[in-house]
Structure 1
Amino acid sequence: MQPRNMSMSGVVDLAAVKAAGEAKQKAEEARARAARQQGGAGGAGAEGAAGAAGAAPVSLVIDVEEADFEQEVLQRSAEVPVVIDFWAEWCGPCKQLGPLLERLAHEYAGRFLLAKIDVDRNQALFQQFGVQGIPAVFAVVAGQALPLFQGAAPEQQVREVLDQLVQVAEQRFGITGISVEGGEDAGRAPAAPVVPEDPALAAAHSALDAGDLGGAVQAYRNVLADDPANTEAKLGLAQAELLQRVQGLDAARVRKEAAEAPADARAQLRAADLDLAGGHVEDAFGRLVETVRRTAGDDREAARVRLLELFEVVGHEDPRVVAARGALARVLF
């Protein structure tokens, strides 16, 4: 990942989100006016009491849903750059990048806000931003959005991108961020000590972050050769192998072939890989369960094994994995 040349040209169209948010805001304002008219002086007294109570502490890391995107991201981007982290619970690289972004949000102390969007809960935003895979990081400044980078990345490169974002926001838009004095960071406990990472596992993660998929696969296999129960290495290997399989695929062609030949196991395996890489977990699982049901012999075994591999990517505790495992058992037995 390299720092972008940030033209801030509004490469993502946020008009639909903004229009929906404005309509919602107008409705809320109308309800508020009606409540004030009914409440009379009592309402005014309540407002005064609220003002005396003081402003709420500033949150530097927020979870955002489609319903509050306009208010929490678009409106706030007029006073502070908002960095969006598209993530999912089943995504291993997300679990590497997310804590880093959260730590940097506190360290930068109001020069940007971090908005975390769970793609499984917010598919409309995921599609509107044109996200191809996760983790994916975007920025919104003065209502304009642009992609920053995709995938987990080394801390130094993430810092370079954030520094450039903060500089562009100030120089081109006059947006300098918000004050967090007395907010949630005041008196914040020191960060927990960092536990040194296994060098072999760190090398595997670095290869994956750099896009060296072949190197990452081999590095994770090396870790597992010495420590077969290493769950982090199992997850990393499954992710690297998935990315290796979808690399260079023509998505439109793959999906067309899968639709035209539902009994073609190889076509369904390729489409399932694309489904999962794009965040469509249940579609991927359902496709492979159905392929197991339709096929026999080697094709059936290939579909079953691929489904188990995708379970590793998502994580065995995920409820979608639990449900798909039950569906697979019903088809097999």
Structure 2
Amino acid sequence: MTQQPFSRPGAIDLSALKGAAGPGAPRPAPAGGPAAGPGAAQPGGGATSAYCVSITEQNFESVVETSRTAPLLLVFYSPTQMPESVQLADDLETLSGEFEGRFLAGRVDIDAVPQIAQLMQIPSIPLVVMIFDGRPMPLLQDVVPLEELRTALTQVMQQLTAQGITGRHQPRTGAAQPEGDEAEEAGMDPRYAAAQDALGEGDIDTAVAEYQKLVDANPADAEAAAGLAMAKVLQRTRGVDLQAARAAAAAAPDDVDAQTMVADLDMLGGHVDDAFSRLIDLIRRSEGEDRNKAREHLLGLFGAVGNDDPRVMRGRQNLASALF
């Protein structure tokens, strides 16, 4: 197979996906019968994660159909041609459990199902391809350490969340699922289920209310605070015309409401740095109540992205410079 260049993790333009299936868009129910579950006989061994499936000719189409609900990550590997690629498949399966349904991992052993690799026109292995709403996008073409893979996937999921793509896969029947203390250690917290389910159904107001309850009960809950911040972005931008909003902001560069609206829309489009820069520039040239309003809005966007994100760290430094 010939090598071709692919996007690297953390540098992936996901803006095209927003139009494919934004929050509230109708989604077909995932297809699938018994053959689609990891409990069925499969080549290359059965998947053990609740969010991983081994791909066969029989289940390929139904598994791809689930990408209309949440991302599907296909990992192409070969135990015979490149034994080390198996580790990448194993690591992706491990992370699928950690991410609790934010993506479904599909293991594609090209020795067992070469026709799938041919169908997808795979240029080389190993390869990880993300499919969302049936649309493929290459993510990774190297065997990387588990921590690097975890970081890359975290960045991708943050980009998707910033665009309002928040659906989750349901655990697949037949896979081993943690229980009790093991489930708690794996981070499976049912407290967020109501809010996440509401987002998946496009019910933004309910999601905001559910996240607000969690924040009110525990202001130190960073995950609930981030969820609330992102849900509020979705709520504020609901039904807004992008071009009209940009025109209004261009016509009134010092209007806080106009600028914060475009910053929110930039967030949903995956242009996080642009959103931050717009508000920081506004803060630099504002004063009084307008300045404070822009600053508070920016802090909310920081919370939506996550304090550990390098873009937020840079944004905080730039904010400090703008303020002082």
Residue among 248, 258, 266 paired with 1:275 = 266
For the 8 Å contact 2:263–2:276, the answer to whether it is kept is yes
Corresponding residue number in structure 2 for 1:330: 321
Corresponding position of 1:155: 170
Greater helix content: 1
Residues 97 and 200 (structure 1), Cα distance of their counterparts in 2 relative to 1, 3 Å cut: closer
The whole-number CA distance in structure 2 between the counterparts of 1:256 and 1:118 is 34
CA distance in 2, matches of 1:258, 1:95: 37
Q: Which position in structure 2 is the counterpart of 1:249?
A: 240
Distance 2:242 2:160 in 1: 17
Which of 189, 194, 211 in structure 2 is aligned with 1:220?
211
Alpha-carbon distance in 2 for matches of 1:118, 1:319: 23
Larger radius of gyration: 1
Distance in 2 separating the partners of 1:152 and 1:209: 5
Deviates more, 1:238-247 or 1:219-228: 219-228
Query: Greater CA deviation, 207-216 or 53-62?
Result: 53-62
Tell me the equivalent position of 1:50.
Answer: none
Give the aligned CA root-mean-square deviation in angstroms. 3.8
Gap runs ≥5 in structure 1: 9-52, 63-93, 120-132, 137-148, 160-189
Question: What SS does the corresponding residue of 1:115 show, helix, strand or coil?
Answer: strand
User: Would you say the 8 A contact 1:223–1:233 is kept in 2?
Assistant: yes
Deviation at residue 97 of structure 1 after TM alignment: 4.2
Q: Does 1:262 align with 2:261?
A: no
2:194 aligned with 1:194, yes or no? no
Structure 1 residue 134 corresponds to structure 2 residue 148: no
> CA offsets, 1:105-150, max 9 Å, x none?
489x96798514699xxxxxxxxxxxxx7259xxxxxxxxxxxx95
Matched with 1:211 is 202
1:3 aligned partner:
29
Residue correspondences, number: 198
Q: What SS does structure 1 have at the residue aligned with 2:183?
A: coil
Say yes or no: does 1:294 pair with 2:285: yes
Q: Structure 1 residues 303 and 115 mapped into 2: Cα distance closer, same or farther (>3 Å)? A: same
- In the alignment, the residues of structure 2 paired with residue 325 and residue 201 of structure 1 have an alpha-carbon distance, to the nearest angstrom, of 28
Q: Any residues of structure 2 matched to 1:1-333 within 5 Å, and which?
A: 1-3=27-29, 54-57=80-83, 95=99, 97-98=101-102, 100-102=103-105, 104-105=106-107, 114-116=128-130, 134=160, 150-155=165-170, 193-195=182-184, 197-333=188-324
For the 8 Å contact 2:166–2:199, the answer to whether it is kept is: no
Encode CA deviations 1:60-116: one digit per residue, 9 max, x unaligned. 978xxxxxxxxxxxxxxxxxxxxxxxxxxxxxxx95544x412x5489x96798514
Provide the C-alpha distance between the structure 1 equivalents of 2:314 and 2:223, rounded to a whole number of angstroms: 23
Question: When the two structures are superposed, what TM-score results if normalisation uses the length of structure 2?
Answer: 0.52
Q: Separation in 2 of the partners of 1:245 and 1:262? A: 19
Q: What per-residue deviation string (whole Å, max 9, x for no partner) do you get for residues 232-279 of structure 1? A: 111111111111111111001111111222111111000000111111
Q: Which amino acid aligns with 1:155?
A: Q
| C-alpha displacement of 1:288 | 0.2
Check conservation: 2:192, 2:224, Cα contact below 8 A.
yes
* Structure 2: distance between partners of 1:262 and 1:118: 38
Q: Gapped runs of 5+ residues in structure 2?
A: 1-26, 32-60, 65-78, 90-97, 118-126, 131-136, 140-158
The separation in 1 between residues aligned to 2:222 and 2:177, in whole angstroms, is: 25
Identical amino acids, percent of aligned pairs: 38
Structure 2 contact 100–188 (Cα < 8 Å) conserved: no
CA contact under 8 A between 1:60 and 1:114: conserved in structure 2? no
Q: Equivalents in 2 of 1:152, 1:326: separation in Å? A: 32
Structure 1 residue 194, shift from structure 2 partner:
3.3
- Contact 1:101-1:114 at 8 Å conserved across structures: no
The residue type paired with residue 319 of structure 1 is P
The 1-side partners of 2:279 and 2:138 are apart by 24
Structure 1 residues 118 and 270 mapped into 2: Cα distance closer, same or farther (>3 Å)?
A: farther
TM-score by length of 1: 0.51
